[in-house]
Every structure is written in C-alpha cells, then in structure tokens.
Structure 1
Amino acid sequence: MKLLIKGGRIINPADNMDTVGDILIEDGRIAEIGQNLAIDGAEILDAAGLVVTPGFVDMHVHLREPGLEAKEDIASGTRAAAAGGFTTVACMPNTKPVVDNSILVSGLIQRGQTEGVVNLKIIGALSKGLEGKELAEIGDMIQAGVVAISDDGGHLDSTRLLKTGLEYTGMFGRPVITHSEDEELASEGFMHEGEVSAMLGLKGRPSVAEDIAVAKDIMLAEYTNSPIHIAHVSSKGAVELIRQAKQRGVKVTAEVTPHHLTLTDDELKTFNTAFKVNPPLRSADHVEALVAGLKDGTLDAIATDHAPHAFEEKDVEFRYAPSGFAGLETALGVVLTGLYHTGKLTLLEVIEKMSYRPAKILGLESGVLKVGAPADITIIDTEYQWTVDCIKFYTRGKHSPFEGRNLRGKSLITIVNGSIIMQNGEVLK
C-alpha cells in the first residue's frame, strides 16, 4: 500500500526541518520526502494548510491492564491515544498484578498487538510488587522488551535498592523512571502546600518533598553513572536541581505534564476532584519555572501521566478522591493553547518535546520523519477550535480538569505504521 501525504508543513525536530512538502509511505515506512512528488497508484492525503509531524510519543501513561480494567484497558487507552495524536505510548507497571516479571511483559506486548491501535511499549517495575524491598526480574523483563524500569505510583524509599537498581539497569542502557517525592513529607497532603491550601484548610504536599527526592535520585544516578528519568516534575526547586545536574554531565532526563504547565493550585478552590493529581498542581511561580525549564531544555519531554479512574471513584468528597485523570485526548490542545499560541514555545519546540525527545529517551526508532523510519505520523491543525467534552472521550476516564474549556489546536489524522488510524476525531479501528 502506498500513501502520499501532499502539501503539508513538515516539521521534523531531529534535523530542524520546517518546510512545505510531501511524504510517501510504502509498506509501513517512509519511502521518500520531497516536493511535488507524483506516485502512480498511491492514495493521496491532502495536508495543505496542516502541519505534518512525527507521531507523538507519550512515555508515561497508566492503561490499568491487567486487573484494573474498570478504569481503562489497552483497547480503550490506545484508542484515546490515537484520538489525541499519539502513535506510541509507554504504560506504567502499577497494575494488579504488578508488571514485575517477563511473563506479564510478554503478555502485555501480545495484548498490545491484538487489542491496541497504536504502538504499545511496556515499563517494568523496579521492585517486586512495587514493595521497595527486592529487585524485580529486571534483566528478564528487558530481554522481553521493556523500554524502562519504574516504581511509579510512589517514591522508592529504599536508597539502597534504588542504587542497586541503577547499577543493574545501567548495564542495559535503560533508564529508571522515578516518581520523586518524599513520602514522609507528602503522603498525608491533598494539594500543594501554600496560601491556597491554608485558605481551604487542606493539608498540603510541600514542594520541598519533591526537591529532596529529586536531589537524592540525581545523586544516585551521578554516583552509579546510570541514566535516570524524573517523572512529572512540578516544582521550581526540582527544575533547578536537574539543570545543575545536566551541567555536570549527569545522565538525567525529565518530563513535565500539560496540566502542571498550564494550571495552578487556584483551580482547587472549587474542590473539583478533577483537579486532584499527584504531584499536585502548584502555584504560579512553579508553573513559570516549569515553562522556562522546558524552553531551555532542562525538561526534555511533555508526558501526559494519563491516569483515568472509574467515574464513581472521583465522584466523592475531595479528600477521598484518588489522584489523576485522563490526559491523552486533551494534551496537544492544552499545550498548543497554553504554550504555543501564547508565544512561550515555538511549534518546533512543542513537537520536539512530544515526539523526538521522549522517543530518544526510551531508545525508540520513532519520533522522526526520515526515509526508512516507521511511518508513525501525526497531522495537526494548529488553529482548530474545539471544546473539551469528557463524555466524547475514547478513554473510560471521564474526568478532566479541562472539561468545558475552549482549546485551539488538534490532531486531525493519526497514522501508525503507514495506516490511518484516526481521522477527523474518529478512531477507525
């Protein structure tokens, strides 16, 4: 099958390409990139006035399978990804049972091939059962195909175990992804500790809890000379610690979410559980530092931390609601509206943070537009105006802090391995 994408604005962050042209796809891969291509027998896809980018890569999602399918499963989660313009997602291991062995990894890879509509990558647990006591079967899981190792869902308290884990994963060149937040300081809090939490009378999660954990994780990565990736950075102190570590040559990368980049703790004055997330939404000074860190390269990637819950779980009093919400279908619109259209990031920078950089961190061959690369492509309309309606989501998670908001920018077409998977908001598989 041949597919010819005609006349789009092609943006490829890997080589700073930004030009109007055509892309020919054959047998699931990019066969040619140029101007005025004419190929007999090819299906023509008119992209005039649209932006053609590498398929987006989300390196931090919770698809809840196995064991928590009432919240999400591979079928619904990957369809949500396709609707949002993502061609690859990497799912976290905090499921029931925990993904801490090669048998579960192989099973999930197979499930992704049969039930998923985008490329599914697996992240394995660092410790058995996420209990922080004994290393999981890291070597076997890496051989089975995991792209990273993580005990995400909580911070690993055992310094010894994290050191050992970094020494082990470093031999394979795989990153450890850490949820960096000191549990003793943060565990009983419901939101960012600050003026708003004091006004509302809610116990807070102090930003210094994140700073302390990030400092420890960076020091261990530096000591072991192993790659570490800091998940969902939310504090200005953490940004500065990561910046300094990179200047020293530490193998540290980091991600930030669309909600931490665009929302503050002021939103929680409504006690709407859709805004409850971990780490919490912080004050405006932290948001400014996150945007600056993304701009200067301190923060490498934008990841959604897509964490859907069943409707009844979030439909409770604020303090009892679980943290997290659906993020795959709103991420691009939120980032374009809040960062690109406000002039805080260029379009090239947005696309780099959502495709090329996360793919590179995970060691994937996707995230680029070049001859021979997988034909994982997202076509977006940066001016498309739409209103978030959770009821229309493909994900089972129907809570979003962006419900009812008017956004500017949307993915119109998602192509995975050369096949059109989503077009004009409709997932075709």
Structure 2
Amino acid sequence: METLLIKNAQVVRADNQLSQTDVLIRGNKISEMAPKLVVKADRVLDAGGHLLTPGLVDVHVHFREPGFEYKETIHTGSQAAARGGFTTVLAMPNVKPVPSTEQTLRNLQARNVKEGIVHIEQYAAISANLTDPKINDLKKLAAAGAIAFTNDGKGVQTAATMKDAMQAAVAVDRPLVAHVEDDSLIKGGVMNAGKRAAELGLPGMDPLAESAQLARDLVLAKVTGVHYHVAHLSTAESVALVRMAKQAGVKVTAEVSPHHLLLDETAIDGDNAMFKMNPPLRTPADRSAVLAGLLDGTIDMVATDHAPHSKEEKDRSFVGAAFGITGIETSFQLLYTHLVRPGLVTLAQLLSWMVTKPVAAFKLSAPTKVAVGERADLALFDLDQAHTISADEFASKGQNTPFIGQTVYGQTLATIVDGKLVYQTQA
C-alpha cells in the first residue's frame, strides 16, 4: 500500500485558527496526523506551511461530454477541477445524449470514471431532452446511481411536470434541483432587464422569470415534501422567498455562484459577452441580498456553474453569444481574496460553503475535515502569494471568464484524490 507524507501543513481548527501538522496517507485514507511525524513514506510532499483543506466540492459543473467536446471534455473538466482544488463535482445532464434512461446514465457514469481524475457524481434529467412535459423513470435512474435530478439549463415550465417530478424524487429519496426560469418572461433577453440594459441598448431578461417560478416551486415543495435545491440563486426576491420557505419548514437548499457574489450589472463594460451568463448579473441590491442570504444561512453553499464555451461562441455580441462563464479554477481564489482577506467572512465559513454544506445537502461520501480515518481527498492552497489570473493558464478548454487579469490569493499548490497526487504546481 503506497504512502504519502505531507510535511509542514496548516489546517483550520474549529476556532478558525490555523495549526501546523504533518499528515501520513496510507492508500486512500489519512492514517496518522501529528505536529511532527518521523516515518518513512513512498513519497513526501512539503506543504511549506501552506493551507491544507478537505478537497472542495462543487455541486454544479458542466463538463460538456458527450456531444459538446469542443467546449470541454470530462478529462479537461476534471483537470480544471483539480487545478481549482476540487476533488468531488456533480455534473449536469445537459449533454448529448441527455442521461434520461438507465443506459444513457450508465454510459455517462462509465465515461466519468474512465476520463475523470476527480470524483464525478452524475445528475440525471427530470425529463427527455430537458424539456419534455412527461418525466423520466426516476426510480430506474436512481437505482442506476443518479445523485439527483435536474433539467438544468431549462426551467420546468409547467406546474404539473414539476409536481410529478417532486413526487417521484421523494419516492426515491433524491434531491430535485431546479434551474428556475419562466420562458414566457424572458422574451429574448440577454442581460438583466433594467437601467443598465437600457443604457447598453440590449434586450433585458425580467428578473421575475426567476422568482415567479421559484415561488411556484416552493409551494409545490411544501406540499410534496421533496428536498428541493435551487441552482444559482441571483435576485433579492428569490432570497426572500427561500428565507420564508425555510421558516415555513420547506425542505429547501440553495446555491449561489461566485460571479453573483462578486459582480453585478454595473460591471458590464459595454457589449462584452464575457459578462453574459444565465441567470444574468443583477443589480447591486441583488448582489448585496445574495451575500446577506449566504451569511445568514438562507443560501447554503457556493457552486461555480462552471460553463465553458469555445472562443468563437463568446467572441460575439451579447445578443449572439453563448450564456455562461468558467469558474472552477478561480472560485476559491476569488472568494478568498474578496471575502476572507478583507474580513467579511472567515476561512472556516468559506470552507463550510464549499465543502461541508454541499456534502450534507447531497449526502455525499466526500470528507469534510482533515482527520485520521477520513478519505484522503485534499487540497493545498497558498494564501500569501499574489497571482494574476491569465487566460493561457487554464486546464479547462474554456477561457470565457471576466475575471482574467484580476490579482488573487489562494492558488492551488496540490490536489490529492484517494491518496494520489492528481495536480501539483510546477516548482
């Protein structure tokens, strides 16, 4: 059994203080921890006093394979995840073919295992092609190992379909994840409707498209008792609705993406499709509301919505470009830089939103602490050295992010999955 000894690491204690430790990994488990271990190991990694955490968990990624490998593949997506410090990800089903049947799901799971270098859990679709009003056989999909169900990228347009899906998800004890968007309120919009869209002369997306469908779903979730998870929450109204639903006993969890925490529509500097995403960047008041919701527990976790596209798909006007930005390689770094370093949140809080809460909500087997007996899924971060994000450094095929050129702290130095070093920066 191979052994890996990590020397001179810092881990976050429960009181948010750092303590130094050595960590011995035997096989895929942490077998010993002490301030100073004197043991022989097959491999030694000197952490140099840097931060060692449980591997990050992202419940919302798009790896594009099969069907859209020109944007991303399972292999490049998982490499990007490792470079960001993530060891477990949940992959969305908007690929081709959509995992709507037991066989298509098993085929995709086999690809995930073969091509991925991190743990990849797979969502199955609620309905065929993500749009069919009739739901799939969720019982068979759950038996085949679907982690949860979603039609991400499409809002479920009818209440009847959503109610059927919720009842089926309850029967198999799986979460139902919703991209909340009422198509009748979008009307060709490409950014948030309002003052900034008018200034730029771009068609706006009514923010009610999100909150109106969310309100419908929360009523249905209360009646059915489903674990209902809201993807990429972005408006103040939506935060208020989830807050009320939680107080009313609805079994609801919610995620927010880093870009909705750090940017709003005032950042859009012209007809620049790097800022085009769905849901779109909202108002400064919305951005304040989602941060407040994260801080008070209304929003449970951060998820990147990593959405790579080709250069050709983003080098266009807002109107013709694809929706979405990459995020898995920069999320921890951006949030550490803009939230933890200024003292707005603690490092322990950030790790709770990026590890503990996702694991709990989706009942994952991923570790939530660096401790003896835990699976050795770990990430090592440099919190002290400044780094400027560059387009040519990404492991992802996608370079579509407005954060290129920003200076951040918290670069990933190494990522370990099942006790194996899957990513390490060049010395």
TM-score bucket (shorter structure)? over 0.9
CA distance in 1, matches of 2:426, 2:96: 32
Residue 10 of structure 2: aligned partner: 9
Residue 341 of structure 2: aligned partner: 341
Write the letter of the residue equivalent to 1:198: A
Q: Deviations over 1:74-95 (max 9, x none)?
A: 0111111111111111111111
Quote the offset at 1:42 in angstroms. Answer: 5.3
Residue 37 of structure 2: aligned partner: 37
CA distance in 2, matches of 1:318, 1:41: 54
SS at match of 2:143: helix
| Equivalent residues of 1:54, 1:356 under 8 A apart | no
| Equivalent residues of 1:121, 1:147 under 8 A apart | yes
SS at match of 1:371: coil
CA distance in 2, matches of 1:123, 1:12: 33
Residue 230 of structure 2: aligned partner: 230
Residue 274 of structure 1: aligned partner: 274
| Equivalent residues of 1:132, 1:157 under 8 A apart | no
Write the letter of the residue equivalent to 2:296: D
CA distance in 1, matches of 2:295, 2:367: 19
Which segments of structure 1 move beyond 6 Å, counting only runs of 4 or more?
A: none
CA distance in 2, matches of 1:127, 1:425: 44
Write the letter of the residue equivalent to 2:4: L
Quote the offset at 1:216 in angstroms. Answer: 1.3
CA distance in 2, matches of 1:36, 1:247: 47
CA distance in 2, matches of 1:248, 1:382: 40
| Equivalent residues of 1:55, 1:87 under 8 A apart | yes
Write the letter of the residue equivalent to 2:132: G
SS at match of 1:58: strand
SS at match of 2:410: strand
Residue 81 of structure 2: aligned partner: 81
| Equivalent residues of 2:20, 2:49 under 8 A apart | no
Give the aligned length. Answer: 425
- For the structure 1 residues 193 and 376, does the alpha-carbon distance in structure 2 shift closer, same or farther, using more than 3 Å as the test? same
Q: Deviations over 1:362-388 (max 9, x none)?
A: 211114123332211111112221111
The yes-or-no answer on 1:330 pairing with 2:330 is yes
State, as a whole percentage, how many aligned pairs show the same letter.
39
Moved more, 220-229 or 209-218: 209-218
| Equivalent residues of 2:200, 2:270 under 8 A apart | no
TM-score, normalised via structure 2 length? 0.95
Q: Deviations over 1:142-175 (max 9, x none)?
A: 1111111000101101111111111111122211
- For the structure 1 residues 63 and 115, does the alpha-carbon distance in structure 2 shift closer, same or farther, using more than 3 Å as the test? same
Moved more, 48-57 or 250-259: 48-57
Moved more, 82-91 or 383-392: 383-392
SS at match of 1:269: coil
Write the letter of the residue equivalent to 2:390: D
Q: Deviations over 1:239-280 (max 9, x none)?
A: 111112112221100100111100111122321111100000
CA distance in 2, matches of 1:12, 1:377: 16
- For the structure 1 residues 272 and 12, does the alpha-carbon distance in structure 2 shift closer, same or farther, using more than 3 Å as the test? farther
| Equivalent residues of 2:135, 2:165 under 8 A apart | yes
Superposition pairs of residues 3-402 of structure 1, within 5 angstroms = 3-11=4-12, 19-41=19-41, 43-369=43-369, 370-402=371-403
Write the letter of the residue equivalent to 2:75: A
| Equivalent residues of 1:88, 1:119 under 8 A apart | yes
Residue 408 of structure 1: aligned partner: 409
CA distance in 2, matches of 1:129, 1:199: 36
SS at match of 1:53: strand
CA distance in 1, matches of 2:300, 2:132: 27
SS at match of 1:319: coil
Write the letter of the residue equivalent to 1:253: T
When the two chains are superposed, the root-mean-square deviation of aligned CA atoms in Å is 1.8
| Equivalent residues of 2:232, 2:303 under 8 A apart | yes
- For the structure 1 residues 16 and 177, does the alpha-carbon distance in structure 2 shift closer, same or farther, using more than 3 Å as the test? farther
Q: Deviations over 1:95-138 (max 9, x none)?
A: 11111112122112211222111111100000112123111131
Write the letter of the residue equivalent to 2:235: S
CA distance in 2, matches of 1:424, 1:177: 35
| Equivalent residues of 1:24, 1:32 under 8 A apart | yes
CA distance in 2, matches of 1:215, 1:274: 30
CA distance in 2, matches of 1:336, 1:176: 30
Write the letter of the residue equivalent to 2:410: G
Quote the offset at 1:12 in angstroms. Answer: 6.6
Moved more, 368-377 or 163-172: 368-377
| Equivalent residues of 1:90, 1:120 under 8 A apart | yes
Quote the offset at 1:425 in angstroms. Answer: 6.2
| Equivalent residues of 2:66, 2:97 under 8 A apart | yes
